[in-house]
Chain A
Amino acid sequence: MSVNFLIHRAKEIQAVIDANASEIEKLDQEIGDGDHIFNVQRGIKLVIELEAVIKDLPISKALNQIAMKVLSGIGGSSGALFGTLFMTMAKGKDIDNGVDYKKAIEIFADGVEAVKQRGKADVGEKTMMDVLIPVSNCLKKGVEDNKDVKEILNEAIEVAEKGMFSTKDLLATKGRASFLGERAKGHIDPGARSSQLMIKTVCESVLNS
């Protein structure tokens, strides 16, 4: 994983999110306040716009700049959560000496754990954590079991999709959808959908490279 890798994945994510924007917006209008897709699109745009500034930086510094950008540019809870993810990844030990897939999985998992702490949300609360936590666990387990990287990534894509669909029948206990109580049931969480798309994009991109 390099700064170049991050920028390219961000551009691919942008294309995928844009292609699915109306679906995500609709999900959010059903159980949220409709602004999730705009926050995500704004965040990705801000990251891509950083290209010139971060392309020659060590990866720790680049990740930190990305963190600060999404933190201040998205704002609210989403900014804090995504900011925490990247800020924690930036703190990964020795990452400026190179990040192989095992290291990438390690810092991503640390990032997800930090997001979980920050938002105090766990699996089963109808949020993006229903995708991120199982994916993080699946990736870590794959490394522990010495699985082939392709196998690990294919599993992660499946786990992400399963996690995303699992939010459909959940009652929301965190985030704005929780106001709706029973009414939120039957709808997929928009944050789970957008993060599933991001995970899928990154994994497929690595698999096809």
Chain B
Amino acid sequence: MKKFMNSADDFLKESLQGFGAAHQGIVNCHYDPNFITRATPTKEGKVALISGGGSGHEPMHGGLVGYGMLDAACPGFVFSSPTPDQMLAAAEKVDSGAGVLFIVKNYSGDVMNFQMAAEMMQGPNESVLTNDDVAVEDSSFTTGRRGVAATVVVEKIVGSLAEHGGSLQECKALGDKVNKNSGSMGVAFSSCTVPAAGKPNFDIGDDEMEFGVGIHGEPGRRRDKMKSAQEITNELLEAINEDLKPETNEEILLFVNGMGGTPLTELYLIYDNAKNMLDKKNIKISRSLVGNYCTSLEMQGASITLTKLDEELLKHWDSSVHTAAMRWGV
């Protein structure tokens, strides 16, 4: 294992310290329990958005804390769910009285721990469960589909509604809608190594790829031989389209997400190939996002997310945002 680290025990703490120091105008990092909040307190009457999950998927979720997106994020240990004490401490810090919306990816550890936090919380709260991964209908790791990169889209769009005065119920409904309007699928060329484990999560041959991989390297649909970028892209999009069924001339967001070990050069190449295919199908790409947003440590691979956009979603996608990882309109 080659990693920038001093000790596995201090890995997360040192990374969080660096993140907090590098973005001090945007976020504050709190420790024991660990959570990240905006540098400025939640506006009175604004619904507070809290997400979280295992670390190792950066910039998700800490990098998405800031104006127009999350109010707080709870990072667990690498690939391990955060615990209810983190969510409760974060909620206490950012709840301004309008309630808390938890945004949770559908992985069993995350679901159980957020559920417990919600049960223990005193004030009003709701949860949005993302499950955009079309690769599996019934994955073992979860009950049902996994929540992956579309979580970023949910956080952006709901974050905007909350910023503009949306109520807790309205934010929850919009979150569910964005999730339902989204589909994702990923492919991995290489494995990734959890620092504490010290060895790769799975083995994969030089000429192989895991098609439909999850964001911790969990198996997806099948193990395949390597193919051309256009073939891989087509297969990913076909799987998503089969599930999402975008109509001719429907407007969509095309989100090409890197898993940590694939260069932007290749992500843009995927974008080009995806555009070729979507153009042929007369699906209108009206917004785009390309980059490493929902990563899996150093894994080589990428995922594609499509989100069907209507006027409401477009408006909230375009509105200004100021976080460590996403910044526009400000």
Q: Which listed residue, A72, A118, A175, A179, touches B112 by the CB 8 Å rule?
A: A118
Closest-CB distance, B32 to chain A (whole angstroms): 10
- In whole angstroms, how far apart are the Cα atoms of A173 and B144 in the complex? 12
Measured between beta carbons, the chain A residues less than 8 angstroms from B113 are 71, 75-76, 79-80
Smallest CB separation, B109 vs chain A (Å): 4
Knowing A33-B197, A71-B83, A71-B85, the reply to whether A81 touches B141 (Cβ < 8 A) is no
Q: Are B33 and A72 in contact (CB under 8 A)?
A: yes
A75/B112 contact (C-beta < 8 A), A173-B140, A176-B141, A178-B141 known: no
Whether B140 pairs with A119 at a CB distance below 8 angstroms is no
Residues of A within 8 A of B116 (CB): 71, 80, 83-84, 87, 118
Q: Given A79-B113, A179-B219 in contact, is the A120-B83 Cβ separation under 8 Å?
A: no
Q: Given contacts A33-B197, A80-B109, A80-B113, is CB(A179)–CB(B85) below 8 Å?
A: no
A181, closest chain B residue (CB): B140
Q: Which residue in B77, B108, B141, B197 is a CB contact (below 8 Å) of A179?
A: B141
Contact A71 B84 (CB under 8 A): yes
- Least CB distance from B8 to A in Å reads 13
Q: What interface size band does chain B fall in?
A: 20 to 34
Judge whether A77 is part of the interface by a CB distance below 8 angstroms: yes
Is B197's CB under 8 angstroms from A72's CB?
no
Give Cα distance in the complex from A87 to B108, angstroms.
19
Residues of chain B within 8 A (CB-CB) of A173 are: 140
In the complex, chain A residues whose CB is within 8 Å of the CB of B108: 77, 119, 174
Q: Is the pair A179, B84 in contact by a Cβ cutoff of 8 Å? A: no
B181 located at the interface, meaning its Cβ lies under 8 Å from any Cβ of chain A in the complex: no
B276 at interface (Cβ–Cβ under 8 A)?
A: no
- In the complex, the answer to whether A75 meets B140 with C-beta atoms within 8 Å is no
Decide if A44 is an interface residue (CB 8 Å cutoff): no
Does A68 interact with chain B (Cβ within 8 Å)? yes
Contact A80:B112 (CB < 8 A) given known A33-B197, A68-B85, A179-B218: yes
For chain B residues 58-116, which have a beta carbon within 8 Å of chain A? 76-77, 80-86, 108-109, 112-113, 115-116
> Which residues of A lie under 8 Å from residue B86 when comparing CB positions?
72
* Bound-complex Cα distance A175 to B218 (A): 12
Asked if A118 and B83 sit within 8 Å, CB to CB, the answer is no
B282 at the interface (CB under 8 A from A): no
Cβ distance A172 to chain B, nearest Cβ, rounded Å? 7
CA distance A54 to B207 in the complex (A): 57
B143 on the interface (CB 8 Å rule)? Answer: yes
**Is the CB–CB distance between B80 and A75 below 8 Å?**
yes
Whether A79 pairs with B140 at a CB distance below 8 angstroms is no
When the two chains form their complex, are residues B76 and A75 in contact, meaning their CB atoms are under 8 A apart? yes
Q: Give A176 to B140 CA distance when docked, in angstroms.
A: 7
Cross-chain contact B140 with A77 (CB below 8 angstroms) = no
A117 to chain B, nearest CB (A): 10
A84 / chain B contacts, CB cutoff of 8 Å: 112, 116
In the complex, the chain B residue whose C-beta lies closest to that of A177 is: B140
Determine the residue in chain A with the shortest Cβ distance to B76.
Answer: A75
The answer to whether B77 and A75 have CB atoms under 8 Å apart is: yes
Interchain CA distance A76-B111 in the complex, whole Å: 10
Given contacts A33-B197, A179-B219, contact A77 B112 (CB under 8 A): yes
- A83 CA to B117 CA in the complex, in Å? 12
Query: Quick one: given A80-B116, A118-B115, are A72 and B83 in contact (CB under 8 Å)?
Result: yes
Q: Which residues of A contact B (CB under 8 A)?
A: 33-34, 68, 71-72, 75-77, 79-81, 83-84, 87, 118-120, 172-176, 178-179
Ordered nearest first, which 10 A-B pairs have the shortest CB separation? A178-B140, A80-B112, A77-B109, A72-B85, A72-B83, A76-B109, A76-B80, A75-B83, A80-B113, A76-B81
Given contacts A71-B83, A80-B81, 8 further A-B contacts (CB under 8 A): A33-B197, A71-B84, A72-B85, A75-B77, A80-B109, A175-B140, A178-B140, A179-B218
User: Would you mind naming 6 contact pairs between A and B with Cβ atoms under 8 Å apart?
Assistant: A75-B80, A80-B83, A80-B113, A84-B112, A174-B108, A175-B140
